[in-house]
Amino acid sequence: MSASYSLNPDKFLFRDLHPSILIGMASDRYVGWIGQIYSGDRYTNRITERKHTVGGKSFTEKVLPVDSIQEYFEHFPVLEIDYTFYRLLLDNHGRPTQNYLVLTEYKRYMKDKDLVILKVPQVICARKLRRSGTLVENGDYLNPGVFTKQFYEPAIEILGSNIGGLIFEQEYHPKNDACCSGSDQANHLNRRFISRKIGAMGDLGLQI
């Protein structure tokens, strides 16, 4: 592909896509998208900062307020929400977690036609979890009870028909760790979830 073609936006035509093919982004609220997706003056003095540490190094991430998703959905019909991968919606006592509260806030600014795809929490779809720097077996791996009561049902309660699908993401493993092949996880998922017809959702995605 030539540089002139790849840099020419007039060459990228999506008008003839099948109506069932939706294009969206994996996550949102990026300050770097101001001027492309988001209007800068709309969020003056409303940008927050999050501090992260990766590999012993710290960095600051700037994010837009939740209501910015209104502008996001003016450009895209669907949004993947990945932060649900890191925490259930209800804790072991049935109390709402921070993710539950954030999703509830998202719902406030969504129209009926707006769709989100949620990542299933890793405590459900990961065979091993990292604890204190070590991978340990996950006792709740593909646990239908945890999935239904602490994730699926509260997700439906919050978002209803705005949910377009779920992603069961396979966790990363060292190359020499062959405990969780993609075919194995697909078979486990089919046996424990899809074949049981848990819930009423028709579009379950498996990301390998």
Q: Where are the domains of the chain?
A: 28-76, 77-208
Give the pLDDT band of residue 7 (cuts 50, 70, 90): low
Q: Report if pTM > 0.95.
A: no
Q: Does residue 78 register a pLDDT over 80?
A: yes
Element holding 24 (H helix, E strand): strand 24-26
User: What's the confidence (pLDDT) of residue 118?
Assistant: 95
Reduced to 3 states, what is the DSSP secondary structure of residue 15?
Answer: coil
Check residue 196 and give its pLDDT: 52
Helices (H), the chain: 3-6, 69-75, 98-108, 122-125, 144-147, 153-159, 182-192
Please provide the average confidence, as pLDDT, over all residues in the chain: 83
Tens digit of pLDDT for each residue in 27-45? 899 999 999 999 988 998 9
Higher-confidence residue of 76 and 16: namely 76
Q: How confident is the model at residue 53 (pLDDT cuts 50, 70, 90)?
A: confident
Neighbours of 89 (CB within 10 A): 25
Segment 122-162, tens digit of pLDDT: 999 888 888 887 888 889 988 989 999 999 999 999 999 99
CA contacts within 13 A on the Cβ side of 56: 0
pLDDT tops 60 at residue 195: no
**Residue indicated by tokens 């028709």:** 202
C-alpha 27/C-alpha 118 separation (Å) is 10
Q: State which amino acid sits at residue 163.
A: I
User: What confidence score (pLDDT) does residue 57 get?
Assistant: 85
In which band, very low, low, confident or very high, does the pLDDT at 163 lie, cut at 50, 70 and 90? Answer: very high
> Among residues of the chain, what percentage have pLDDT more than 90?
48
For residue 207, what pLDDT band results from cuts at 50, 70 and 90?
very low
Task: Give the pLDDT score at 120.
Answer: 93
The pLDDT tens digits for 87-133 are 999 999 999 999 999 999 999 999 999 999 999 999 998 888 888 87
C-alpha–C-alpha distance, residues 141 and 197, integer Å:
18
